[in-house]
Chain A
């Protein structure tokens, strides 16, 4: 009995560690063992309360980062039912779990119901209330205030049988108001803010089955993915535009861009295993197709003094074929060799018919065409050897060859398009090796390294000459876990003018300790360093500026601390602190210069800021089946250099009070 109590207490203490949002409450209510009823065991709990938030400073930034607001919530609920003999009439297991229902910005529900040997059904539903003014991106003109809802259903019939049937349905919607921009007449024109009504829907239907044939396990999946976007962008009041030096004005604007398409998909998978080897092959084919129409009407004065109506229509296709083949050999118990070969092909092409009318006069129709083809062949071999009981090695070599072809075409309908075609090919070789050592039973040491070379990378910032090193030490003894890790990745991609160097170094330390059922402690610290230098060329006042460099330095310190103390099994106290701080390169004030180009680049070299969040919570057991909870959490965001105007700093006191009960 004492062992059982200890076991259940240990299980209940675990979720309290490292909690980064103050609610829902981690402490359990009711009997962890649950209640027995009609051959089932029931465990359930509900937490209802009021969440509050007081915000000083930039409310838009708070909503972007945190977004908890006032109101009554079903902060969390859990219900599990298990058949005690595994022979329930309609189901053997039922799990329902919810979080944040009511009006939290982050809501989720989970349902699992299954009957042994007959069926298993899983549902996951989630909602994300997304608000983002994105001030540094487009000066706040690309604000989004949308809700994304995701649901995924999975049904398996005969889950333990030799022949299984699978069906699934997924649906993602994104709806809500947003701001957008519109450029009229290109660089010498003007930009105007617009209102956008975002309406997007993606759905996916999956049908398939698994079966055994001649000792091989075969899976077949047929799926259909569809997407439709019916976002409308609108402006119904005159606006002078962002460029005050020109004469372009916009009185009214409307753009409808219905964009619908489907992607039918096949996936086949076969697995065959014997004593000394295993084979796993997979092939997928998806044939994406989208039809689109852009109907855009702009009234006002353009650079050429016209109203403008633009109609663009056409389609785009993207068949994607991929195949993977794994051969795993285990010639000896201590040796594993895995070879993975993959081939992938993507072809993207489409026609875009462009028709423009100015003041009701047909100005012309153009056909644009573009093709992008991508073919990748890769092979990876990994060898894993256990040299001794406490020592093992692994090594691997990966080779990848990629070819991409592209083509453009432009012309008038009915005539031959002026086509241009390009072809590029590049190859990457990677070698990696590592060692694992267990000098003591609770102590693990892992060291690894990687070197990669590419001959013709696609972009100036792609991997070309890459070195990676990693080390991890972990000590795990009963209730104590200590770990430390280091990871560095250096990439150099230099050509004559564009010398790119990116160096990242990550350090991580963690300690978790739960010596008693009434005390638990968890702390972690990570330092994420990144410095990059990239050669730049750009224009200032129609003059090409050469030999400039984009320098970016980031030194992020991220720490988490959580302590839980239970007082006489009646009161649970939790205190935590999370901080993320970018100290930049150490400079106290932004570099300033009167020289326009230097000023432009200096102010984006580093972006020091602080994001701190202490939290505290108390949970009081009023009755074995009833608890009262209250918590407070502060979010404090402060930028050391004011990169954008208005200031994005804020301070928000959030909290909640709730009752958790079980019946």
Chain B
């Protein structure tokens, strides 16, 4: 009975389909009711309701390819032109990009660290079974998708000082574009780490920490040139204010040691003043006086 129904539907659709080999989504529905059941909740369902798209760009066959052979073979993955579980990662990416390549956020997807590691669309998105509220993610929460591979980052967000990702107030995609990113405007444009720049092509930190953005009359040069990561560990740290060291003075002195050809002037980054005796605890908390360490309008030494 089921086979008769399938063949009847297939016949009707073939008659209606100009391409001949496309059978239409209603045919798929007969054998895949579990997928069809919630399909109207899927963003891809829009292609069916649009009514003005060619049959090869809509519904099930828009992604899986023409279904005639699959129907005639009475099922089986090998008869599906695009069976994603059997396809190599590169082909999965190309298939999805047929429609999704136009967006600016996917401009670098072909060179992204994810693509180079064979992590393509279906690695993070579940088209038919997504428990997420948006973006068809494979897990209910975005962080769980990322933690699946980035366990070291999961450890960083479990540290005492961290951005509140586990608590649900910050998401990975607030700072990162998993589809790849342009060259950063800091740190010699190297290793984009999927960091998604802010609107003005600046570090994404300034989206929330706008008071550190400037422009300042007196910029602390490394903030602009090397980026916030010079002093801070952005995911999480064992140290206050996400600093890379447990105390401030070692963090500052590691650069301000006056040696080499480093710095703005090429003759070493300015050594601290001789009036600062590091044995005195008063001088060990540098930012107690150099308050505007990210940049100042009023003082070249960041005192006010």
Contact = CB atoms under 8 A, between A and B. Distances in A.
Contact of B275 (A64, A187, A344, A396): A187
Interface in B224-256: 224-226, 230, 238-241, 243, 245-250, 253-255
A508 B152 contact: yes
B56 interface: no
A458 B277 contact: no
Interface of B, helix, strand, loop or mixed by DSSP: loop
A134 B273 contact: no
B183 A380 contact: yes
Contacts of A317: 215
A106 B168 contact: yes
B257 A607 contact: no
Contacts of B282: 191, 242-243
Contacts of B214: 288, 290, 316, 318, 348
Interface stretch (B10-18, B61-69, B75-83, B106-114): B106-114
Interface string A22-54: 000000000001000000010000000000000
A339 B33 CA distance: 45
A540 B276 CA distance: 7
Given A338-B110, A342-B189, 17 more contacts: A4-B33, A15-B139, A128-B169, A187-B273, A187-B283, A278-B110, A294-B304, A370-B217, A370-B218, A374-B224, A448-B117, A459-B222, A460-B269, A541-B279, A556-B159, A558-B154, A558-B156
B260 A498 contact: yes
A85 B40 contact: yes
A308 B247 CA distance: 33
Interface in A106-157: 106-108, 110, 112, 116-117, 126-128, 132, 134-139, 141-142, 148, 150
A324 B238 CA distance: 37
B74 interface: no
A354 interface: yes
Interface residues of B, number: 125
B215 A138 contact: no
Nearest to A318: B215
B188 interface: yes
B213 interface: yes
A357 interface: no
Contacts of A108: 168-169
A284 B199 CA distance: 9
A472 interface: yes
A225 B230 contact: no
25 contacts: A11-B131, A20-B166, A64-B161, A112-B133, A150-B208, A181-B288, A284-B200, A315-B217, A326-B107, A344-B201, A350-B217, A350-B297, A370-B218, A436-B118, A458-B225, A463-B188, A495-B261, A524-B151, A526-B151, A544-B274, A554-B238, A556-B159, A558-B156, A604-B245, A604-B249
A378 interface: yes
A439 interface: no
Given A11-B131, A271-B102, A539-B274, A436 B117 contact: yes
Contact of B201 (A320, A404, A457): A320
The 10 closest A-B CB pairs, nearest first, are A558-B155, A86-B49, A318-B215, A286-B200, A15-B140, A508-B151, A202-B210, A350-B217, A378-B189, A495-B260
Interface residues of A, number: 218
Contact of B300 (A86, A314, A370, A534): A370
A282 interface: yes
B80 to A, nearest CB: 17
B211 A229 contact: yes
A316 B152 contact: no
Given A110-B133, A600-B279, A288 B148 contact: no
Nearest to B140: A15
A458 B226 contact: yes
A320 B224 CA distance: 12
B285 interface: yes
Contacts of B288: 138-139, 141-142, 181, 183, 191, 242
Given A4-B34, A544-B274, A597-B279, A550 B254 contact: yes
B104 interface: yes
Given A191-B282, A342-B183, A508-B151, A314 B217 contact: yes
A183 B283 CA distance: 12
Contact of B160 (A86, A322, A428, A637): A637
Nearest to B301: A186
A571 interface: no
B39 to A, nearest CB: 10
B159 A611 contact: yes
B156 to A, nearest CB: 7
Contacts of B215: 261, 288-290, 316-318, 348, 350
Interface in B144-191: 144, 147-149, 151-152, 154-156, 158-161, 164, 166-170, 182-183, 185, 188-190
A280 interface: yes
B34 A7 contact: yes
Interface stretch (A386-394, A411-419, A619-627): A386-394
Contacts of A480: none
Interface string B121-152: 00000000101011000011100100111011
A460 B269 CA distance: 8
B199 A225 contact: yes
Interface stretch (A299-307, A481-489, A652-660): A481-489
A322 B185 CA distance: 8
A508 B115 CA distance: 21
Nearest to B153: A526
Interface string A263-278: 1010101010100001
Contact of B217 (A352, A454, A554): A352
Contacts of A359: none
A290 B134 CA distance: 37
A312 B298 contact: yes
